[in-house]
């Protein structure tokens, strides 16, 4: 049986079912479909379209479907094209004739949009929570890192020493922006499309404001055409997740690099590394590499879905069914990547001696020499040239830089002190800078931001005020 047997004479061809059915992926909307349907039933009762008794029967049937789904005893049937069809079919089996009233005033168009908003609201919140967990890990590793430092790089060339804590928090702040985006996306999507019907609303006394409130949405749609065709929230979610994945990818790339013998800045815990099937000595950073690799896939989902949307006229078109698989996959992949990355960072060992040796062994204090001269009245461009030629001299003649600094008339012994191990990094004192004082303040600010963000995420995750129990 199809939902449209009154209109179409022939049964749907098998290959059409195979091509158009979405049950195999949209069954994960089941819980949201039940919650949405229950709100719809309460709305129908409120409008006098259903009697209290009829609503009670439908709500009980929806509850039972929920139990069957939870117990794994729900039997899907060949004609169940999608989760909405399957639920309505089963409600009708359980509730008898009243079941035929469930879909009154509703279309799968407003139904699926409602379900997907409920689902996305919850799942993005879960991703946000995992972002917070990763930020906590970065924060605790930053605190633990104390005053250890490493070379900061530009162009992947050693540039200036920075505290390890500073480097870790740099990733933490990128994640703070991801979190902010996720929260705003949830805020924007928190609008109920239920009551828009197929595209134009209804002749029946529905109350979209009432069902919106029932479902814990902040409000209802303004325009029924927009309500059923709007998938901005999916595109936004895909973007938020893609950029988050890009950030994880950059962390992954760095850790893959840092765990090489050439860098040797970190050793991954055995539980977060893999071996080689052939080479007995290998220990590979597969988590870091897949954190990097998954980003490509997520960017593909975003680009693909924007392409799906771009040519669609108003209002619902079946193309919109293509919203779910990329969204589900992006959520799954990001969720797993966040957990694995947090575990990898929590358990890896930093080789701070090696990091510091790398930072001390270079001309990482060169700009400090130039700034020292500037403080004594030399224009910076001139100071830059003086120090630059000393560095060149040192490299060409194989003379230690300290020796050249000591014998230079404008520099001398006091300036040599800047080249002592660990001195340069302490001079990065400006707000947001890489030295110990500035980083101590930054740690406080980061900790505070994290506390605020934990509360923000707790607040967005207000579950709908009522369940499917008809309370």
Residue 220 near residue 212 (C-beta atoms within 8 A): yes
Distances (CA, A) of 135 to 231, 345, 419: 30, 10, 34
Residue 232: CB atoms within 10 Å: 13
Q: Which residues pair with 266 in a beta bridge?
A: 350
Does position 40 bind ligand ARG by CB under 6 A?
Answer: no
Instruction: In angstroms, give the least distance from the CB of 179 to ligand ARG.
Output: 29
Q: How far apart are CA 185 and CA 205, in angstroms?
A: 31
Does position 229 bind ligand ARG by CB under 6 A?
Answer: no
Expressed in angstroms, the distance from the first to the final Cα of the chain is 33
Instruction: Name the DSSP class of 147.
Output: T
Instruction: In angstroms, give the least distance from the CB of 113 to ligand ARG.
Output: 8
Query: Whose CA is closest to 74, among 59, 93, 58?
Result: 93
With respect to ligand ARG, which residue has the nearer C-beta, 82 or 360?
82
Q: Are strands 149-154 and 219-220 parallel, antiparallel or unpaired?
A: unpaired
Per DSSP, the three-state class of 314 is coil
Residue 155 appears among annotated catalytic residues: yes
With respect to ligand ARG, which residue has the nearer C-beta, 82 or 88?
82
Instruction: In angstroms, give the least distance from the CB of 198 to ligand ARG.
Output: 7
Residue 219 near residue 194 (C-beta atoms within 8 A): no
Instruction: In angstroms, give the least distance from the CB of 82 to ligand ARG.
Output: 4
What totals of helices (H) and strands (E) does the chain contain, helices first? 19, 6
For residue 441 the two structure tokens come to 């303040």
DSSP for 208-265? HHHHHHHTT-SEE-S-HHHHHH--HHHHHHHHHHHHHHHHHHHHHHHHHHHTSTTT--
# of chain residues touching ligand ARG (CB under 6 A): 10
Residue 291 near residue 340 (C-beta atoms within 8 A): yes
* Binding map of ligand ARG across residues 98-127, x = CB under 6 A, - = no contact: ----------xx--x---------------
With respect to ligand ARG, which residue has the nearer C-beta, 22 or 120?
22
For residue 276 the two structure tokens come to 């080689």
Does position 230 bind ligand ARG by CB under 6 A?
Answer: no
Window 301-340: residues binding ligand ARG (CB under 6 A): 316, 318, 320-321
Does position 345 bind ligand ARG by CB under 6 A?
Answer: no
Among residues 73, 155, 203, 277, the one annotated as catalytic is 155
For residue 79 the two structure tokens come to 């004609």
Instruction: In angstroms, give the least distance from the CB of 157 to ligand ARG.
Output: 51
With respect to ligand ARG, which residue has the nearer C-beta, 258 or 316?
316
Instruction: In angstroms, give the least distance from the CB of 27 to ligand ARG.
Output: 11
Residue 340: CB atoms within 10 Å: 18
Sign of dihedral through CA atoms 74, 79, 84, 89?
negative
Instruction: In angstroms, give the least distance from the CB of 245 to ligand ARG.
Output: 24
Q: How far apart are CA 253 and CA 213, in angstroms?
A: 45
Interface with ligand ARG (CB under 6 A), residue from 82, 88, 236, 329: 82
User: Containing H/E element for 325?
Assistant: helix 324-347
With respect to ligand ARG, which residue has the nearer C-beta, 83 or 183?
83
Residue 362 appears among annotated catalytic residues: no
Per DSSP, the three-state class of 468 is coil
Instruction: In angstroms, give the least distance from the CB of 187 to ligand ARG.
Output: 24
Among residues 24, 140, 276, 448, the one annotated as catalytic is 276
Per DSSP, the three-state class of 443 is helix
Q: How far apart are CA 60 and CA 320, in angstroms?
A: 31
For residue 320 the two structure tokens come to 């919109």
Instruction: In angstroms, give the least distance from the CB of 84 to ligand ARG.
Output: 6
* Binding map of ligand ARG across residues 1-30, x = CB under 6 A, - = no contact: ---------------------x---x----
Does position 80 bind ligand ARG by CB under 6 A?
Answer: no
Known catalytic residues? 155, 276
Residues engaged in binding ligand ARG (CB under 6 A): 22, 26, 82, 108-109, 112, 316, 318, 320-321
């Amino acid at each position: 049986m199809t939902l449209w047997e009154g209109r179409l004479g022939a049964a749907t061809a098998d290959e059409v079912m195979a091509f158009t059915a979405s049950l195999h992926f949209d069954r994960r909307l089941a819980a949201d479909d039940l919650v949405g349907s229950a709100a719809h039933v309460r709305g129908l009762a409120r409008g006098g379209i259903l009697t209290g008794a009829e609503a009670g029967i439908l709500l009980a049937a929806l509850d039972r479907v929920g139990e069957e789904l939870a117990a794994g005893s729900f039997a899907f049937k060949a004609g169940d094209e999608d989760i909405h069809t399957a639920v309505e079919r089963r409600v009708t089996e359980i509730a008898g004739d009243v079941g035929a009233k469930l879909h009154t005033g509703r279309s799968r168009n407003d139904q699926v949009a409602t379900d997907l908003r409920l689902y996305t609201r919850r799942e993005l919140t879960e991703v946000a929570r995992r972002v917070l967990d990763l930020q906590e890990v970065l924060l605790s590793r930053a605190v633990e890192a104390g005053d250890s430092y490493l070379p900061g790089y530009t162009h992947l060339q050693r540039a200036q020493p920075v505290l390890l804590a500073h480097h870790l928090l740099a990733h933490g702040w990128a994640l703070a922006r991801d979190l902010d985006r996720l929260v705003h996306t949830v805020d924007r999507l928190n609008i109920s499309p239920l009551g828009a019907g197929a595209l134009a609303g209804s002749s029946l006394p529905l109350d979209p404001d009432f069902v919106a409130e029932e479902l814990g949405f902040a409000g209802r749609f303004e325009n029924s055409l927009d309500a059923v065709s709007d998938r901005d929230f999916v595109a936004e979610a895909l973007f938020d997740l893609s950029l988050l994945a890009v950030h994880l990818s950059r962390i992954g790339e760095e850790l893959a690099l840092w765990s090489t013998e050439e860098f040797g800045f970190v050793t991954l815990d055995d539980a977060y590394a893999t071996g080689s099937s052939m080479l007995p000595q290998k220990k590979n950073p597969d988590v870091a590499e897949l954190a990097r690799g998954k980003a490509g896939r997520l960017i593909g989902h975003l680009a693909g879905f924007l392409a799906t949307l771009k040519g669609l006229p108003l209002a619902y078109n079946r193309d919109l069914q293509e919203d779910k698989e990329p969204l589900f996959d992006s959520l799954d992949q990001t969720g797993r990547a966040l957990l694995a990355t947090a575990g990898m960072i929590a358990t890896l060992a930093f080789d701070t001696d090696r990091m510091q040796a790398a930072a001390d062994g270079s001309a990482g204090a060169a700009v400090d020499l130039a700034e020292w001269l500037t403080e004594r009245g030399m224009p910076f461009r001139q100071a830059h040239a003086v120090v630059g030629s000393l560095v060149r001299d040192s490299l060409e003649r194989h003379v230690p830089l300290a020796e050249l600094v000591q014998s230079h008339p404008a520099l001398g012994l006091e300036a040599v002190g800047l080249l002592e191990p660990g001195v340069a990094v302490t001079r990065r004192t400006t707000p947001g800078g890489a030295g110990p004082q500035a980083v101590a303040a930054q740690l406080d600010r980061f900790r505070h931001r994290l506390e605020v963000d934990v509360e923000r995420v707790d607040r967005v995750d207000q579950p709908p005020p009522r369940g499917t129990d008809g309370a």
